[in-house]
Structure 1
């Protein structure tokens, strides 16, 4: 399997000396003025320069952002799709994915360490960063203790571009196994529209009814889309 991290792009060798000076200026702006001093393509350009030090990475950075649809979409894209992009390889793809991993770790910290219901905006920020740009639908269940501390964040299903399966019996069974006092259902709409479907509403009602009989509360069902999110509780659907 070919790795294109160290394959020169046309004209890159002639631009090497210029690239070093340019990277030094980017580095100086970053360190002295912070991340806001760099444009999106400059962030990716400098990141790729660390993984591919002997190439001019500015054109590649711009092509990646154009192809994937922006910074957020690029960072959350599937690693294999990034690796296969012309001019990329395992090392440069991993450099991009490590940024997402670090960002998610940072965003999830208040969710993991504080009661979820008192860290609601932090939870939404974390879920949007993780799921808003996924190309396939994923369903997750957040299991909470009686003090609303996060016990487990589990991926329960991954499907096609518009459908993933969730089964009431399996959700409730797992909640009983973990001793969950409450759960929060989460899934994304790859279409970008977070409006609940009739099936979304029905399965949520079924899980709420089943949980209620066993003392397991369903605090919310959150749908994540590029347009934002929809909370079933806020919409009066729970």
Structure 2
């Protein structure tokens, strides 16, 4: 230090430093099970945005989209437009969503699908429930009703997805499937099947029956609820 210069003052820690410490301590207590959405989102954002107070960002995200699941399930372009976020931060939130989807998918990969029906519905809701366009997912099963493939067959518009029975049959034969479950989402949020949904289901069922492959169900995913066409007596 040069003679006559005042001693250098210690750098003051950011005001949010202790708050982050408390969040980590609360999470560690029960691995976040009792944390409300806003605190869990704050903690996640602490790792994504390490040098900024993330509390107002978390509040803005929750105000814009809803709960924690709604935030990570939102369109990444919309997430990026929230003040304090950006493309990189949005991608990291979407990575958390994908991790959750893969964890749920793991629950149905090695088990008997029909006896793990709640897990199947949870997975489908997580994977498709917040999509803004319709998509058709096919779960192909072997003769023990174990999952052998999970594929998005078609993606369409906000209210229509073409699904061609011949393509379903072709793929089922390629995979050696014995049965399958059809799943598609209604971006409107209402899972009530339309007449077109029912007619298309019957067309796929009839095409599969000709090659001795069973259509177990057609599940329609809404924003909060699901509909099983088999449970409703429509298959």
TM-score using structure 1 length: 0.89
Alignment partner, residue 23 of structure 2: 26
Question: Whose radius of gyration is greater, 1 or 2?
Answer: 2
- More contact order relative to length (CA 8 Å, sep ≥ 6): 1
Q: CA deviation at 1:62?
A: 1.2
Aligned runs of 1:38-187 on 2, under 5 Å?
Answer: 38-187=35-184
TM-score using structure 2 length: 0.90
Partners of 1:149 and 1:163 in 2: how far apart?
A: 29
Q: Contact 1:140/1:156 (CA < 8 Å) preserved in 2?
A: yes
SS in 2 for 1:111: helix
Partners of 1:45 and 1:213 in 2: how far apart?
A: 54
Q: 1:81 to 1:16 in 2, by over 3 A?
A: farther
Q: CA deviation at 1:16?
A: 6.5
Deviations 1:156-203 (A, max 9, x none): 111221111111111111111111111100000111111100000000
Q: Which runs of 5+ in 2 are unaligned?
A: 1-11
Runs of 4+ in 1 over 6 A off after TM superposition: none
Q: CA deviation at 1:227?
A: 2.8
Partners of 1:22 and 1:119 in 2: how far apart?
A: 41
SS in 2 for 1:17: coil
Q: 1:205 to 1:47 in 2, by over 3 A?
A: same
Deviations 1:39-70 (A, max 9, x none): 21111111111111110111111111221232
Alignment partner, residue 12 of structure 1: none
Q: Contact 1:16/1:55 (CA < 8 Å) preserved in 2?
A: no
Cα-Cα RMSD: 1.6
Partners of 1:151 and 1:233 in 2: how far apart?
A: 22
Does residue 189 (structure 1) correspond to residue 193 (structure 2)? The answer is: no
Q: Contact 2:181/2:217 (CA < 8 Å) preserved in 1?
A: yes
Deviations 1:73-125 (A, max 9, x none): 22122333323433212332232122212211211112101111111111111
Q: Which runs of 5+ in 1 are unaligned?
A: 1-14
Alignment partner, residue 7 of structure 2: none
Aligned residue pairs total 224
Q: Contact 2:60/2:82 (CA < 8 Å) preserved in 1?
A: no
Partners of 2:165 and 2:81 in 1: how far apart?
A: 38
Partners of 1:90 and 1:227 in 2: how far apart?
A: 28
Alignment partner, residue 3 of structure 2: none
